[in-house]
Structure 1
């Protein structure tokens, strides 16, 4: 049947099973929005307050559901406002399709009003991007975009469509979405046999889990693998939740703000099994001293990650779930009781400390207790993010929605909206700092507009907490432009937006206030006032090995 380009966009979204999109209209994308209006019963569109919020909402939706997130924007500033959100998704391998409209094809390259080469801008931060110049290529391009976004190592894909293409007509025929294969190559049996031999001969194995295990949905295979190997397990920030945080084998997060048990354990182990992680600088500290006593077995779907940051002694390229399943069949039940006792002693000797009074750590622990550890937790970036990762014992994958690679302040509010819409039966929290909240509080309007009952917990220390922490420790307490100061009545601000607001200033009131906030059933903000000099510990100073931690 003959359809316009705008109609083809909608039909292709329906083909791919998309029922939720986030965006902001403008002149060049009006034809697509006109079709969205006609199909509002099939595709729900959420108008965010800013395009960056739309990208983060699509990201949160994708991370929490495993589906492809979709966001829309018009040309020029609309498209460029997506850039931070696209880069955030790229760094954390989130499957997302961003659809932008551009000026008509006859005006491209002429510095037209609201024209931008968004494909050129986003080339380094997308898995792939497309500029559609022929109406006959539109359906194929959109289908390919979704396939690329979710196949192999996931990532964001951008499709830019000039306005005249959305108005032209061509023949459209429905197609079933392509089947997605995580990898096209079969597992290398030689590599698997070598890995199995290595595992069976290790005396002090340690498992380090990254975000790849979450994306692969390998939690069952990972748990079986850890039990069979009888090895301690640590997770990167992105891997948090892939292994249950309450399991006795879990030693806490690894890295700059990881537990001492994890960081020292990896320094002492003789085999480090790295599962779907990319050896980020925040994880490994000094590269030349990382896990120097250990052979390193790296398992990853992306061959580009092998030997990129840390040289591996052995590796297996493939989908994490498939690789672990194969290894579980090859290895026998191991007993490393002496090694496990050594690691357990480290856990007991160096526990995390909550501190006195109303602290960020205490608030997170209280939230964990009240929600029974079942909430989906989005975060902004900073001290509160690290406290959330340290003190909320995540039971399952896709429970922590956070910006790890790019470290995007302002991510959490949009992400929480997308997460709640993708998981309406779940409690969704956004753990924020007051600095981050100032960056995205406009999206509270979005939550109110659509009555999305997220609970934002603002850890308010009236400073840019993590930056101030570095200034205290490494810049001789020169607090250059990190004091935000008081003066904002967050409860009144929330009420002005139509949300519910609570103040929390005393530890004794925490249980009552947080329970009330979680029970409102409306967009809610809790302003938790803490001391500006509370810090995140442990901490590995820059340039140091991961076992050289500052504990307090």
Structure 2
């Protein structure tokens, strides 16, 4: 039986198991939306405020589940509004398929209304992208896009469909999803060599990244840590991979990581990097990174080996498979001497002071975790609030801390929260944002209100662009250029205008009361948390610095 291209797009998404898509209609995709009307009982569409919100929502859906998020946009400005969201997913290896409409094939290259060369624009920020030129290839192209997005190192894929293809007819029959093949191969000799390095080392240290989450290998990682008593740290992308209270977990490493984890990296004799790419926020000074250690890197992506830091030994493959086969080769150890040294490093960790008179960010995070327990999802935007959330969130489960780590996208948070909540309807979702980031995405509150999506938003408001201002203080002699935000936004009235409920808090007791009430609400809430403009994220190692450059006070 023949179907129109628009119908084939929707039917193929259903075949791929897609339950929810995020998008915004327009002329080039109006026929896809017409088809959606017929399949509205089989697939759920969320109309965001703009396409950037759709991209971030698809990202949040993918981050919180491991499934492939889907965004749909029209041509021209609709497609370009997806770009930052695509780049965000690309930098953090998040599976996503974006489908864009385009002008008819006969009008491409003629500066037609709302024409844009979106595949050219997105080529550097997608795993792959397609322009469908033949209606007979449409179904299989979409199927391939899903396979690519979730195979190997995950990431976004874009499929651009000209309007004449959307309107054309061809035969269609349901097909099973293309099998996502894992790289099950490994070199036994390499594993034996790695096991020997681990077993003989006296001061090993594990540095794990987002690849552990993407490969679903956190259990195998914890088994390795416990069997050989190897202390470990995590990147921003790997929060929740390690048990928060575990004795061998030294928390986040790098620019705003714990003092103890940075000292451990400095003094280790073996650093095992698992699913981590030596970002410049961790390897701040690549010429002085883990100077006393042999460095081993395990990654699914061969191009990451030796890219930022030259390693002594690299293994390419699926982390779960590698760790599973490595474990039998690992000896049981107690490492009492090394752990005793690390406990002394822990005594140097920065501990912020509590206050009842004003709001301290760490108290906010600890109270949220205390009230909601373990099974909730934290989403953040980017800035000081992001680092405070990372430092004090207390997460011990993967896929529970969602943030734009690689691209650092202000405005990511609300859309991602929508995607996360729709993918996990029974789990509370809390967005931690700053006044700067919130003003970039607050229009999506209306999306949450429309669909009754319960998101608790905590806006840490210092009326400043806090992270840049912090750098201006420490590195630029208090030359505060354009970081005095000073918006006159009334967050309570704003929430009311959007149809949400708002609160404003000036001390920690007011916050506790507001948060308790927000938990009882059925819809989205916004809690303004007024913090001192001089609150800073500590500890801090300046870019290009080492542990010798640690900043621990104002």
Aligned residue for 2:182? 182
Within 5 Å, which residues of 2 pair with 1:90-101?
A: 90-101=90-101
Query: Residues 539 and 551 of structure 2 are in contact (CA less than 8 Å); yes or no, is this contact kept in structure 1?
Result: yes
Aligned residue for 1:300? 299
Aligned residue for 1:417? 418
Matched position secondary structure for 2:540: coil
TM-score (norm 2): 0.98
Within 5 Å, which residues of 2 pair with 1:242-391?
A: 242-356=241-355, 357-391=358-392
Query: Residues 259 and 352 of structure 1 are in contact (CA less than 8 Å); yes or no, is this contact kept in structure 2?
Result: no
Aligned residue for 1:164? 164
Runs (5+) with no aligned partner, structure 2: none
Give the whole-Å Cα distance in 1 for the aligned partners of 2:410 and 2:127.
Answer: 23
Aligned residue for 2:63? 63
Give the whole-Å Cα distance in 1 for the aligned partners of 2:349 and 2:169.
Answer: 67
In the TM superposition, residue 349 of structure 1 has moved relative to its aligned partner by: 3.0
In the TM superposition, residue 521 of structure 1 has moved relative to its aligned partner by: 2.0
Matched residue count: 551
In the TM superposition, residue 546 of structure 1 has moved relative to its aligned partner by: 4.2
In the TM superposition, residue 329 of structure 1 has moved relative to its aligned partner by: 1.2
- Deviation track 1:19-69 (CA, whole Å, cap 9, x = no partner) reads 100000000001111111111111100000010000000000000011000
Give the whole-Å Cα distance in 1 for the aligned partners of 2:359 and 2:95.
Answer: 38
Aligned residue for 1:401? 402
Aligned residue for 1:47? 47
Range moving further from structure 2, 473-482 or 354-363: 354-363
Distance 1:18 1:288, change over 3 A: same
Within 5 Å, which residues of 2 pair with 1:86-235?
A: 86-183=86-183, 186-235=185-234
In angstroms, what is the RMSD of aligned CA positions?
A: 1.0
Query: Residues 259 and 348 of structure 2 are in contact (CA less than 8 Å); yes or no, is this contact kept in structure 1?
Result: no
Give the whole-Å Cα distance in 1 for the aligned partners of 2:32 and 2:320.
Answer: 39
Query: Residues 281 and 543 of structure 2 are in contact (CA less than 8 Å); yes or no, is this contact kept in structure 1?
Result: no
Query: Residues 350 and 539 of structure 2 are in contact (CA less than 8 Å); yes or no, is this contact kept in structure 1?
Result: no
In the TM superposition, residue 174 of structure 1 has moved relative to its aligned partner by: 1.4
Give the whole-Å Cα distance in 2 for the aligned partners of 1:21 and 1:493.
Answer: 28
Aligned residue for 2:16? 16
Query: Residues 284 and 546 of structure 1 are in contact (CA less than 8 Å); yes or no, is this contact kept in structure 2?
Result: no
Aligned structure 1 segments of 4 or more residues deviating by more than 6 angstroms: none
Give the whole-Å Cα distance in 2 for the aligned partners of 1:229 and 1:300.
Answer: 21
Q: Does 1:73 align with 2:62?
A: no
Aligned residue for 2:533? 532
Range moving further from structure 2, 418-427 or 324-333: 324-333
Give the whole-Å Cα distance in 2 for the aligned partners of 1:421 and 1:246.
Answer: 29
Query: Residues 354 and 362 of structure 1 are in contact (CA less than 8 Å); yes or no, is this contact kept in structure 2?
Result: no
Give the whole-Å Cα distance in 2 for the aligned partners of 1:503 and 1:139.
Answer: 51
In the TM superposition, residue 493 of structure 1 has moved relative to its aligned partner by: 0.5
Give the whole-Å Cα distance in 1 for the aligned partners of 2:104 and 2:210.
Answer: 40
Range moving further from structure 2, 367-376 or 162-171: 367-376
Aligned residue for 1:498? 499
Matched position secondary structure for 1:285: coil
In the TM superposition, residue 359 of structure 1 has moved relative to its aligned partner by: 1.6
Runs (5+) with no aligned partner, structure 1: none
Aligned residue for 1:238? 237
